[in-house]
Amino acid sequence: MKPVAKEQQQALVARLMDACGGAYSPQQRRKFFITGPQWAAAYEGQALFHAPTRRPVGFDEVIREYAAIGIGYWTTHDTDVIPTDDLGTDRQQQTVAAIKKSLADNGLKCSMVTTETFHHAVFAASPAAESPEIRRYAAWRVCNTVDIGHELGAEFAVYWPGSLGYYTQGAIDETQTLRWYAEALNAACEHDIQAAKAKGRPTLKHCMEAKPFEPQAEILLPTSDAMLAFINSGLLTHPEMVGLNPEYLHELMWGGAPRAALARALLAGKLWHFDINDGYRLKHDVDIAVALVNPLDWLNVLVLLRSHGYNGPFNLDYKPPRTTSNYGVFKVSFPTAVDRFITLWEMAGEVMEDSVIREATHALKAGAGVSGNDPREIFEANKELLTLHELIAHRLVQILLGLHRGRVYSL
């Protein structure tokens, strides 16, 4: 085999990407409410056991590259773009102004802002730590992010309380910690009401994001369902302003069915924002790009969301693998993630219109039409209809694999 010299490798990747085909144009991609996080594109490949493999990239480069791909919206943590020491100073104002210009120059919008309450040493004991000064600082941070959000024209604020928990049992008082955490959210909502009024804008949609493990060993709000209970616990002064940002993989990580978790959020009227990615059950947060692991489940998730009229953002919260280069992040990782999402979204539309699935579903819902309350008789009358469950599953896989358009024979 002939070695591929360093200078020829990008050309090879580009040629093979072209050979893959099936790409949507930037204009088509922009029609979807697909949002690109600063932190996903800027992820350098580092982790507890991993040194970085990519050079750092700033917001200017990320925004420019997203524009070229056709990702129409950008999302960020406060400290992804503003160093912690600059927060609340004139330097924050300057950076926010520079971001605004970069977004406008490239035709992007900022859809969501979020506060980093997990990385800095001050949050070692969580943003709802015992010490009142830590909590005061955390409340200030979330209020400051609300201001940044209004300045950048965002519609959403996200909260991921992954550090709300403990490593050693009994070290913290769970009920008190949850009350304190609610105080920070209340501060953000109350500040938002004032800030929105002053700016003549609607208030932000405040969305909580659950993750079952990492970075704490035990987490106080580990699932979207726990968060629904928290929102309705009476601790929030503005529960109507607070909804959910489920992440696909985070629900899978605890062994849940993401589609069922999303259904519960939809029924509660709280599915406002959605982090899209993929990974494996009961494993750590591998943040693989959407539908690379579970395409069939993703097709079904999108059927659920399309049929319930979900119109919120799809946030590409994944991590380009550390084997992907800086060039590959924007030339392969993001465009392929966006295109798989769009293809599955379109397929979900096909599923909803499919005559086989439609007729089978109607027949199941119609039942056999027997009267009376004899369970054996009811079962016997419906028995043949129930085979349609498996037929529907077969049809979904046919649509996913394109087999409904004909088959290929090798013999």
Site string for Mg ion, 218-247 (x = CB under 5 A): -----------------------------x
How many C-beta atoms surround the C-beta of residue 390 within 10 A?
9
CB of 317 to Mg ion, least distance (A): 4
Contacted by 78, from Mg ion, ligand GLO, none: CB < 5 to 8 Å by type: none
In total, the chain counts a number of residues equal to: 411
Residues binding Mg ion: number (CB under 5 A)? 6
Distance CA 325, CA 355 (A): 44
Contacted by 114, from ligand GLO, Mg ion, none: CB < 5 to 8 Å by type: ligand GLO
Contacted by 354, from ligand GLO, Mg ion, none: CB < 5 to 8 Å by type: none
Using CB under 6 A as the binding rule, whether residue 247 contacts ligand GLO is answered as yes
Q: Calculate the CA 262 to chain-centre distance.
A: 12
> 254 with 214: CB under 8 angstroms?
no
User: How far, CA to CA in Å, does 120 sit from each of 83, 84, 343?
Assistant: 11, 8, 39
Sheet with 274-275, edge to edge strand ranges? 242-244, 205-208, 156-159, 109-114, 73-77, 34-37, 314-315, 274-275
Distance CA 373, CA 364 (A): 19
Q: For ligand GLO, which residue of 158, 219, 221, 348 counts as binding (CB under 6 A)?
A: 158
Residue of minimal CB distance from ligand GLO? 114
> 63 with 102: CB under 8 angstroms?
yes
Using CB under 6 A as the binding rule, whether residue 178 contacts ligand GLO is answered as no
> Beta strand pairing status for 274-275 and 314-315?
parallel
> What 3-state class would DSSP assign to 348?
helix
Distance CA 179, CA 2 (A): 63
**Closest CB to ligand GLO among 247 and 339?**
247
**Closest CB to ligand GLO among 77 and 395?**
77
**Closest CB to ligand GLO among 265 and 360?**
265
**Closest CB to ligand GLO among 284 and 362?**
284
CB of 87 to ligand GLO, least distance (A): 16
DSSP 1-24: -----GGGHHHHHHHHHHHH--PP
Distance CA 79, CA 142 (A): 12
Alpha helices in 209-312 (DSSP H): 224-231, 248-253, 258-267, 295-307
Using CB under 6 A as the binding rule, whether residue 155 contacts ligand GLO is answered as no
> 134 with 125: CB under 8 angstroms?
yes
Site string for Mg ion, 301-340 (x = CB under 5 A): ----------------x-----------------------
Using CB under 5 A as the binding rule, whether residue 65 contacts Mg ion is answered as no
φ/ψ (deg, to 5) at 78 = -55, -50
Residues binding ligand GLO: number (CB under 6 A)? 9
CB of 158 to ligand GLO, least distance (A): 4
Using CB under 6 A as the binding rule, whether residue 78 contacts ligand GLO is answered as no
Using CB under 6 A as the binding rule, whether residue 275 contacts ligand GLO is answered as yes
**Closest CB to ligand GLO among 225 and 285?**
285
Query: Interface residues for ligand GLO in 191-210 (CB under 6 A)?
Result: 209
The two most distant CA atoms of the chain are separated, in Å, by 77
Query: Which helix or strand (DSSP H or E) is residue 104 part of?
Result: helix 90-106
Query: Interface residues for ligand GLO in 315-334 (CB under 6 A)?
Result: 317
Query: Interface residues for ligand GLO in 105-134 (CB under 6 A)?
Result: 114
Contacted by 157, from Mg ion, ligand GLO, none: CB < 5 to 8 Å by type: none
Cβ density class 259-277: b for 16+ within 10 Å, e for less: bebbbbbbeeebbbbbbbb
Using CB under 6 A as the binding rule, whether residue 339 contacts ligand GLO is answered as no
Using CB under 6 A as the binding rule, whether residue 147 contacts ligand GLO is answered as no
CB of 75 to Mg ion, least distance (A): 10
Q: For ligand GLO, which residue of 285, 298, 314, 337 counts as binding (CB under 6 A)?
A: 285
Task: Enumerate binding residues for ligand GLO (CB under 6 A).
Answer: 114, 158, 160, 209, 211, 247, 275, 285, 317
Q: Which residues bind Mg ion (CB under 5 A)?
A: 247, 249, 275, 285, 287, 317
